Chains A and B, each alone.
Chain A
Amino acid sequence: MNKNLGWKLTVIVAILLVFLFGIFGVPKDWSGKGMIAAITDRIHLGLDLRGGTHLILQVQVNDAVNVDSDNAIARLKEDMRTRKINYADITKPDPVNHPDMIVIKGVTPDQSADFKNIVADRLPDYSANSGTENSFTVAMKGQNLADLKNRAVAQAIETIRNRIDALGVSEPVIQEHGLGQYQILVQLPGVDDPGRVKEIMQSTAMLEIKQSLGGPYASEQAALQEKGGVLPPDAVLMQGKSIGSRNGESGEEWFLISRASAVTGRDLRTADPTTDENGQPAVRFILTSEGGRKFYTFTSAHVGDNLAVVLDNRVQEVAVIKEAIRDTGTINGRFTQQATQDLSMTLRSGALPAGIKYLEERTVGPSLGADSIRSGVRAAMVGMLAVLIFMLVYYRWAGVNADIALILNLVILLGFMGYFGAVLTLPGIAGVILTVGMGVDSNVLIFERIREELRNGKTPPSAVDQGFSHAWITIVDTHVTTIVSAAILFLFGTGPVKGFATTLVFGLAANLFTAVFVSRVIFDWVLSRKQRGEALSI
C-alpha cells in the first residue's frame, strides 16, 4: 500500500513539474517581471487581449477565372488563324456568373472536328460542346475550374503573407477561413491601424503588359466615337494618367488595350527601384525564363506596335516596341521614391491573382486589451479565491485536498496551453474561471458521496472507496457531455470563442486527472497515517 502510494505521489510531482515547465519554460530571471515575461512567451495572448487587427476577406476568384479564359480566347484565336479555321464571333456571354464560358459562333461544319482538336490539344482544362447554328460553347472542366479557384485562394494567401512579412508584424495569422467560400482570415497582433495594412495588402499591383491598340483619347466617348461606337471584342478601354502630365499638369486619358496579356506579374522574377534615363524614379523588373520566352515571342511579333504597362487596370505607361525584348524592362510613371519602393515590394511579393473584398474588420486598441486583461485576471482571482475559501470552510481538511486538486488543475490547464501554443483570449479567461467552478463539482460530488457513505455507517476507508467509485461514473458522463459541446464550439467558433472552447476542453481533461486521481491519492495518504477507526475530517 505504502509503496504504491509513493509511486503515485512521484507521478503527481512529475506531472506538476512537466506542466510548470509548460507554463514558464525556464525563466531568464526569477523576479516577478521575469516570470510574467516567461509566461507570455509560452502562452500567447489573443488579439482581444493584446490589441490588433482581425480581417476576413474574400478572394474574388472569378477574376482569376476571367484572366484564364481571356488567355484561352487569345490562344484559340491564334491557333484558329494558323490552322485557318474560320469563325464569325468569339465572346464571353456571361463574365460575371460564368467567367469560364466562351462561345464561338460560325465555325463551318467541315472544320468543327479541327476546332475540337485544337481545344483538346491546346486547352486541356477546357472542353468544347457544339451548340446550335455551328456554334461551340467552350467551358472549363468542373474539376479544373475548382482547382483554379482554390489555387487563386492559396496564391492570395501566399501573396498576402509575403506582404505582411515585409511589414514586420510578429506572429501574424494568415490562413484560409473555413467558414465561407474562398475566404481568408488575417490576424495581426499589435497592429491597430487596419488602414495601412489594407493599403499594403490591397495594393494589388496586378501587373500586366499588354498591347495598346489605340489612343490616347481624351474621354471614353471620344474613343468610342473613333471606333464607330463599337469596341473590338478583344479589347477594352482603360484609363491612365496622361503622359504629358509629367510636369505637374494632371489629366486623364483613355487607351484601347487588348484583353489578353503578353506577360503578367506571375512571370516576374524580381523588381527593384531604379531611375530611368531622365533620372526619374522607376521600377526595373526581370522576367522568369518562361516569362522571358513569352515576352520575346510577343515583342518580336509586334515590333513597331505600342506596348502598355497596366498596373491594377490602370495604364501606367505606353511605349513603342523598338525591338524584341527578352526579359528586362522598366516601368516609368510619375512615381515618388517611396512609391517605387512600395511598388517593387508588391511586385516582388507576387501579384494577387484576383481582387479581394473585405467582409469583416475588427480592431482592438491596446488600451482596451490591457483593461480587459486587468479585469479578466481580477475576476479570475476573486472567483478562484472565493471557491478555495468556501471549500476549506465547508469540508475542512478534505477542503485542503480539493484546493490542491483545483490549483493543480489550473497548473495543468495553463501548462497544456503552453505546450500546444494555444491562444488565451478574454472568453478564454472566462473559460478558466468556469473550469474552476465546474472542476470543483467533481470534488463536491465525491465528497458528498463520502459523507453519505459515512452517515450510512461505513468505515472511512470503505466510504472513501465507495465515494470515488460511485462518483466516477457520474463524473465521466458529465465530462463527456460537456466536452462534446465544447468540441462543437471549437469546430464552429471563431477567434475568441475558439479560445474559450480550448481552455474549457483542456480544463475538463485536467480535471478528470486532478479531481479523481490526485484527490484519491491524497485521501489514501491521509488514511494511511490515521489509526484504524479514527474519523475523517470532511
Chain B
Amino acid sequence: MEFFRNTNIDFLGKKWYFLVFSLVFSVAGLLSMAFWHGIPLGVDFRGGTLVYVKYAHTPDPSAIHDEIERAGLKNARVQRYGQVGNNEVLIALDIQETSEQALDNGKTKIIQALETRAVGGKQDLNNSSSLGIKKWLVEKDPLHVGSSPEANNRYTAAAQSVVDYRDKNKGGVLSSVDDLNGAADPAVVGSLKENYFTSDFGIRNVEIVGPQVGQQLRKQAVLATLYSLLGMLIYLALRFEWIYGVAAVLTVFHDTLITVGAFSLLNWEISLTVIAAILTLIGYSNNDTIVVFDRIRENIKLLRRDSLADIVNRSINQTLSRTILTAGLTFLTVLALFLFGGEVLHGFSFALVIGILIGTYSSIAIAAPILVAYQQWRGEKGKAPLAMPLRPGTGLKPKAKEKVKA
C-alpha cells in the first residue's frame, strides 16, 4: 500500500497562497490577543481558586452561583464541566478572593455555601477525609476494641474502606450514610450515623494558586519557551548553517503564535499542561522541518547544478510521503487523547491537535520558502548565490557512499 509515489508538486510556486493563509490565522490570533479575549491564562498563571464539585443530581449553575454570592464571594464563575451525565461543575474565584494570608478561605466558604442539607452538629460524610473519620471512630470505639495500636490500625482501615467505597464505587458522592450498609461493619455505620450526614455533592479537585506562584509560573513558562527556541537555534546552526536555524525558529514561532491564537480565539484557558503541549509541538514541528532540511542538504551535494528552488521543491516532494504519514499517525494518537483522554487533558490535547496540523503545514509552507527567499535576497544584493556549500569544507565533500550511488 502506498499513498504517495513520485509526487511532483510545485510547493514553492504556491508560496503566496501559503503566506496569505498563515497571515490570516496569525493576524486573527494576534487581533484576538490584543483586542478581544487577550491571552486567556489559566489559574496556574493568573492565580485564583478552582473547585471542582460533583453532584448527586443534575446541578443548576445559577442556583449554585446565588448560594455562593450569598456567602459573600463576589465574581464567582460557575460552569458545567465535563460530560453532562457526570453532574460536575467548576467554581472559579478570582485572585482577589485568594488572599495569601488564608489561601483556602475561598474554598472553605464555597463548601459552606453549598452545604444546603447541613444538619446541625453533624459533619458531611461526602466531604470528610479518612483521617477525620478515623478520629471519630477511635473516639467512639464502635467495635469495642479499646485503644491499643492494633485498634488504631483497625479503625484506620475501616475509615479508609468507607472513603474508598465512596470514591471508587459511588463516584465520590453517597446519597445517605445507609449506602455504606454491606460495605462496612454495621456497628461502624451506626456510629457514623450519629456524627455524619450526606450532602448532595463531593469535592473532586481543588486548585488554589496564590499571586506569587502565578507570577513565578508565568515567568517560567516564557523562559522555558525562549530557552527551548534558543537551544534549537544553536543546535541547527551547528549542524547545518545559521540560516537553517533561523528558518526553523521562525517556523516554530509561527506555529506557536497560531496555536496560542487559537486558544485566544476560542477563549480557552492556557494552563501549565498547555504550555507543556506547546513545547512538545515546538519539538515536533522542528522534527518535521529538520527532515526536510536534511534532505535539502543531501540533495545540494548530489545536484549541484540545479537551482535551490528546484532542490527544495524536490526535497519536499521526496519527504512528502513520510511527512504526511508521520503527521497522520501522530495525529491519530493525539486525537485518541483528545477524544478519550478525559476532561483534564482536553486543553493539552487540543493544543497538540492544532499544533500537529500547523507544524506539518509549516515545515513545507514556511521553513523551506524562507531558505529560498534568503538566497534570492542574497542574489539581489549581488552576493554569490548560495549553492549551499553553506559550510565550506563540509558541504562539498561527497561521501564515499554517495559516489557509489551516483
Chain A residues with CB under 8 Å of chain B are 48, 51, 56, 58, 167, 179-180, 191-196, 198, 357-368, 370-372, 374-376, 378-380, 382-384, 386-387, 390, 393-396, 426-427, 430, 433-434, 436-438, 440-441, 444-445, 448, 451-452, 455, 466, 469-470, 473-474, 477-478, 480-482, 484-486, 488-489, 491-494, 496-497, 500-501, 504
With A367-B172, A393-B1, A488-B279 as contacts: A437 and B329 at CB distance below 8 Å: yes
Minimum C-beta distance from B291 to chain A (A): 5
- Asked if residues B235 and A362 are in contact (CB atoms below 8 Å), the reply is no
Contact of A430 among B5, B206, B337, B339 (CB under 8 A): B337
B10 contacts the other chain (Cβ, under 8 Å)?
no
Contact of B291 among A193, A380, A430, A474 (CB under 8 A): A474
List, sorted by A's number, 20 A–B pairs whose CB atoms are closer than 8 Å. A51-B167, A193-B130, A194-B104, A196-B131, A361-B103, A362-B207, A368-B52, A379-B339, A387-B333, A394-B2, A394-B325, A426-B344, A427-B273, A433-B334, A441-B322, A441-B329, A478-B287, A484-B231, A486-B283, A496-B272
Minimum C-beta distance from A519 to chain B (A): 15
With A365-B202, A366-B168 as contacts: A488 and B286 at CB distance below 8 Å: no
- Asked if residues B290 and A478 are in contact (CB atoms below 8 Å), the reply is yes
- Asked if residues B322 and A372 are in contact (CB atoms below 8 Å), the reply is no
Query: 8 Å CB contacts to A: which residues of B91-119?
Result: 100-101, 103-104
Minimum C-beta distance from B267 to chain A (A): 23
- Asked if residues B206 and A362 are in contact (CB atoms below 8 Å), the reply is yes
With A180-B213, A434-B334, A484-B232 as contacts: A358 and B220 at CB distance below 8 Å: no
In the complex, residue of chain A having the shortest beta-carbon distance to the beta carbon of B164: A366
Minimum C-beta distance from B154 to chain A (A): 14
In the complex, per-residue mask of B170-211: 1 if CB is within 8 Å of any chain A CB, else 0? 011000000000000000000000000000001111111110
- Asked if residues A477 and B290 are in contact (CB atoms below 8 Å), the reply is yes
B55 contacts the other chain (Cβ, under 8 Å)?
no
In the complex, per-residue mask of B344-363: 1 if CB is within 8 Å of any chain A CB, else 0? 11001100100000000000
Contact of B167 among A357, A365, A466 (CB under 8 A): A365
B67 contacts the other chain (Cβ, under 8 Å)?
no
Minimum C-beta distance from A517 to chain B (A): 20
How distant is the Cα of A378 from the Cα of B275 in the complex, in angstroms?
24
With A193-B132, A372-B344, A445-B291 as contacts: A434 and B207 at CB distance below 8 Å: no
Contact of B273 among A195, A478, A496 (CB under 8 A): A496
How distant is the Cα of A245 from the Cα of B190 in the complex, in angstroms?
37
Minimum C-beta distance from A43 to chain B (A): 19
- Asked if residues A437 and B330 are in contact (CB atoms below 8 Å), the reply is yes
- Asked if residues A383 and B342 are in contact (CB atoms below 8 Å), the reply is no
- Asked if residues A375 and B228 are in contact (CB atoms below 8 Å), the reply is no
- Asked if residues A426 and B235 are in contact (CB atoms below 8 Å), the reply is no
With A433-B336, A481-B236, A497-B272 as contacts: A196 and B405 at CB distance below 8 Å: no
- Residues of B near A191 (CB, < 8 A) are 129, 131
Minimum C-beta distance from B39 to chain A (A): 19
- Asked if residues B286 and A481 are in contact (CB atoms below 8 Å), the reply is yes
Minimum C-beta distance from A470 to chain B (A): 7
- Residues of B near A179 (CB, < 8 A) are 216-217, 220
In the complex, residue of chain B having the shortest beta-carbon distance to the beta carbon of A391: B329
- Residues of B near A500 (CB, < 8 A) are 273, 276, 280
- Asked if residues A441 and B2 are in contact (CB atoms below 8 Å), the reply is no
- Asked if residues B104 and A361 are in contact (CB atoms below 8 Å), the reply is yes
B379 contacts the other chain (Cβ, under 8 Å)?
no
- Residues of B near A426 (CB, < 8 A) are 344-345
How distant is the Cα of A56 from the Cα of B213 in the complex, in angstroms?
9
How distant is the Cα of A365 from the Cα of B163 in the complex, in angstroms?
11
B391 contacts the other chain (Cβ, under 8 Å)?
no
B401 contacts the other chain (Cβ, under 8 Å)?
yes
18 additional contacts (CB under 8 A) given A358-B100, A436-B333: A360-B208, A362-B205, A363-B203, A365-B172, A367-B54, A368-B344, A370-B168, A372-B344, A393-B1, A395-B1, A437-B334, A445-B291, A448-B321, A455-B5, A474-B295, A481-B231, A482-B287, A488-B279
- Asked if residues B220 and A492 are in contact (CB atoms below 8 Å), the reply is yes
- Asked if residues B104 and A195 are in contact (CB atoms below 8 Å), the reply is yes
In the complex, residue of chain A having the shortest beta-carbon distance to the beta carbon of B210: A359
B24 contacts the other chain (Cβ, under 8 Å)?
no
With A427-B348, A434-B352, A482-B284 as contacts: A379 and B336 at CB distance below 8 Å: yes
- Residues of A near B325 (CB, < 8 A) are 394, 444, 448
- Asked if residues B333 and A437 are in contact (CB atoms below 8 Å), the reply is yes
- Asked if residues A371 and B209 are in contact (CB atoms below 8 Å), the reply is no
With A370-B167, A448-B325 as contacts: A375 and B342 at CB distance below 8 Å: yes
In the complex, residue of chain A having the shortest beta-carbon distance to the beta carbon of B328: A390
How distant is the Cα of A372 from the Cα of B202 in the complex, in angstroms?
17
B318 contacts the other chain (Cβ, under 8 Å)?
yes
With A196-B129, A433-B337 as contacts: A359 and B212 at CB distance below 8 Å: yes
Most B-side CB within 10 Å, residue of A367, A372, A378, A386: A367
With A361-B206, A466-B405, A484-B228 as contacts: A383 and B337 at CB distance below 8 Å: yes
- Asked if residues A367 and B332 are in contact (CB atoms below 8 Å), the reply is no
How distant is the Cα of A500 from the Cα of B171 in the complex, in angstroms?
27
- Residues of A near B224 (CB, < 8 A) are 488-489, 491-493
With A438-B287, A485-B279, A488-B279 as contacts: A367 and B206 at CB distance below 8 Å: no
B13 contacts the other chain (Cβ, under 8 Å)?
no
How distant is the Cα of A455 from the Cα of B280 in the complex, in angstroms?
35
Minimum C-beta distance from A447 to chain B (A): 9
In the complex, residue of chain B having the shortest beta-carbon distance to the beta carbon of A476: B239
B282 contacts the other chain (Cβ, under 8 Å)?
yes
How distant is the Cα of A158 from the Cα of B272 in the complex, in angstroms?
29
B374 contacts the other chain (Cβ, under 8 Å)?
no
B340 contacts the other chain (Cβ, under 8 Å)?
yes
In the complex, residue of chain A having the shortest beta-carbon distance to the beta carbon of B220: A492
- Asked if residues A485 and B205 are in contact (CB atoms below 8 Å), the reply is no
- Asked if residues B333 and A384 are in contact (CB atoms below 8 Å), the reply is yes
Minimum C-beta distance from A254 to chain B (A): 24
Minimum C-beta distance from A516 to chain B (A): 15
Most B-side CB within 10 Å, residue of A358, A376, A383: A383
Minimum C-beta distance from A44 to chain B (A): 19
- Residues of B near A368 (CB, < 8 A) are 52, 172, 204-205, 344
Minimum C-beta distance from B363 to chain A (A): 11
Contact of A376 among B2, B167, B345 (CB under 8 A): B345
In the complex, residue of chain A having the shortest beta-carbon distance to the beta carbon of B321: A448
Minimum C-beta distance from A189 to chain B (A): 13
- Residues of B near A375 (CB, < 8 A) are 340-342, 345
How distant is the Cα of A515 from the Cα of B291 in the complex, in angstroms?
16
Contact of B231 among A441, A455, A488 (CB under 8 A): A488
In the complex, residue of chain A having the shortest beta-carbon distance to the beta carbon of B100: A357
- Residues of A near B130 (CB, < 8 A) are 193
- Residues of A near B131 (CB, < 8 A) are 167, 191, 193, 196
B294 contacts the other chain (Cβ, under 8 Å)?
yes
- Asked if residues A482 and B291 are in contact (CB atoms below 8 Å), the reply is no
With A360-B210, A376-B342, A485-B231 as contacts: A470 and B298 at CB distance below 8 Å: yes
In the complex, residue of chain A having the shortest beta-carbon distance to the beta carbon of B168: A370
How distant is the Cα of A374 from the Cα of B344 in the complex, in angstroms?
12
B223 contacts the other chain (Cβ, under 8 Å)?
yes
- Residues of A near B345 (CB, < 8 A) are 375-376, 379, 426-427, 430
How distant is the Cα of A273 from the Cα of B261 in the complex, in angstroms?
62
With A375-B340, A438-B330 as contacts: A358 and B290 at CB distance below 8 Å: no
How distant is the Cα of A390 from the Cα of B330 in the complex, in angstroms?
12
How distant is the Cα of A371 from the Cα of B171 in the complex, in angstroms?
9
- Asked if residues A485 and B340 are in contact (CB atoms below 8 Å), the reply is no
Contact of B235 among A180, A444, A481 (CB under 8 A): A481
How distant is the Cα of A51 from the Cα of B227 in the complex, in angstroms?
32
- Residues of B near A470 (CB, < 8 A) are 298
B7 contacts the other chain (Cβ, under 8 Å)?
no
B75 contacts the other chain (Cβ, under 8 Å)?
no
B58 contacts the other chain (Cβ, under 8 Å)?
no
- Residues of B near A444 (CB, < 8 A) are 322, 325-326, 329
- Residues of A near B279 (CB, < 8 A) are 485-486, 488-489
How distant is the Cα of A382 from the Cα of B335 in the complex, in angstroms?
10
